[in-house]
Amino acid sequence: MPLNIGEVIATKRREKAWTQEQLAYAVGVSTPAVSKWETGATYPDITLLSPIARALSTTVDALLSFQNELSEREVEEFMRKAAGIYESEGFDAGWSFCEKMLREYPNSIPLKFHLGNLFQSFLLLKPGIDQQGIQACYRRAANLIEEVLASGHAKYTYPSTIILVGYYAMLNQLDRAEELLDNLPRMKVDPDQLYPSIYALRGRHDEAIKLIQENIRRYLPRISQALDVLCAYARERDEMDKAFSLAKINYEVTKLFGVKTEIAYPEMIKGFASQGDMQAALDYLEDYAESILEWHYDYANNPVFDKLAEQAVDMPYVRKVLAQSILTDNGYAPLKEEPRYSLIISKLCKMVETETHMFDISDG
């Protein structure tokens, strides 16, 4: 990693209103030596770092741009930039950027936590990745999150544990996953279920309603994911009617509450295909594709979540990941001979190409 010590020396020197000659005299070197430091042509000898720091009323750490911790704003900025690189330049470029940041700021626990969790959203965008490659990514990320957990940082202890359980399940390291779960405290009562009553008694009705809506929005995806898992179990046991019934319940629940139904579509499509009803399967696939093309968070007109609707949020990379999940899922194989399937897929491919191009232009 290149040092910017010359820039720091020049900045600190100017802050003191010193010339290069004055700094050279104070440190005991020639003026051309100072000039070379400031232009980056050479670095100061290590034995001169302390004298330079004293002369410039700073520290050696400041000269070397050493930063033990990043601010929340800086971490958010690195996250935003990393996500942009993942999306516009591809998975490998995003992964490399994250590794570079982690080498540059090895002591930042928040950075390790966020960058160690970011890659999952973009893994499907890496073409041709095999199971070995996927596991390598999860193993590296697990090591990072383990460092976060070992730091004892209170803010990240619980979420790091939950993330690691998922990572070790992916890596089939089930003993470690179970150990982590065993160490979690058993929560008998969720405080967020009780706060609304307190808020209401205090007359803070808007806060009570907002928290109730947040609770519903938080638990609905868990219910949907649980139904999806039950559906998958039924399919594995060749209980196709049961799987289809569970898929329909999942789809109707998510649709009833007006939340995103992406997780419920795949099993509905596969259910119709397994029954030989290709046209119904294609109908749902078409709806699924349209929901991806129009994907954004906006609950402004949803009476269940209207207090949460600050503004619509558009996240193009989510559309790309969802589209890629269709392209890589062998469960849609029975539909590939259907002409409508090709039309649907072509729309998704065009969207991915267009948004990638638009992102490149706006980023440049």
Q: What pLDDT digit, counting tens, does each position of 263-299 carry?
A: 789 889 988 988 889 999 999 999 998 888 877 667 7
CATH number of 191-363: 1.25.40
Burial 34-51 (b: 16+ CB within 10 A, else e): bbbbbeeeeebeeebbee
CB 144, CB 102: distance < 8 Å: yes
CATH topology of domain 5-63: 434 Repressor (Amino-terminal Domain) (1.10.260)
- pLDDT, mean over the chain: 86
Torsion over CA: 132, 133, 136, 137 (sign): negative
Q: What is the pLDDT of residue 363?
A: 45
Residues 178-198 have a mean pLDDT of 86
Residues 149-176 have a mean pLDDT of 93
| Residue 169 burial (10 A CB sphere; 0-12, 13-18, 19+) | middle
What is residue 66's DSSP assignment? -
Q: What is the pLDDT of residue 199?
A: 92
35/220 Cα distance (integer angstroms): 63
The yes-or-no verdict on residue 1 having pLDDT over 60 is no
Q: What is the pLDDT of residue 296?
A: 67
Q: What is the pLDDT of residue 235?
A: 86
* Topology alike, domains 72-183 and 191-363: yes
In the chain, what are the domain boundaries? 5-63, 72-183, 191-363
Residues 147-155 have a mean pLDDT of 90
The confidence band for 167, taking pLDDT boundaries of 50, 70 and 90, is: very high
Q: What is the pLDDT of residue 104?
A: 82
Name the residue with tokens 């030596």.
Answer: 33
Q: How many residues does the chain have?
A: 364
Q: Is the model more confident about 42 or about 321?
A: 42
The yes-or-no verdict on residue 206 having pLDDT over 90 is yes
Q: What is the pLDDT of residue 364?
A: 41
The yes-or-no verdict on residue 259 having pLDDT over 80 is no
pTM metric for this prediction = 0.65
Q: What is the pLDDT of residue 103?
A: 86
The yes-or-no verdict on residue 343 having pLDDT over 60 is yes
Residues 17-40 have a mean pLDDT of 93
Radius of gyration of the chain (CA): 27
CATH number of 72-183: 1.25.40
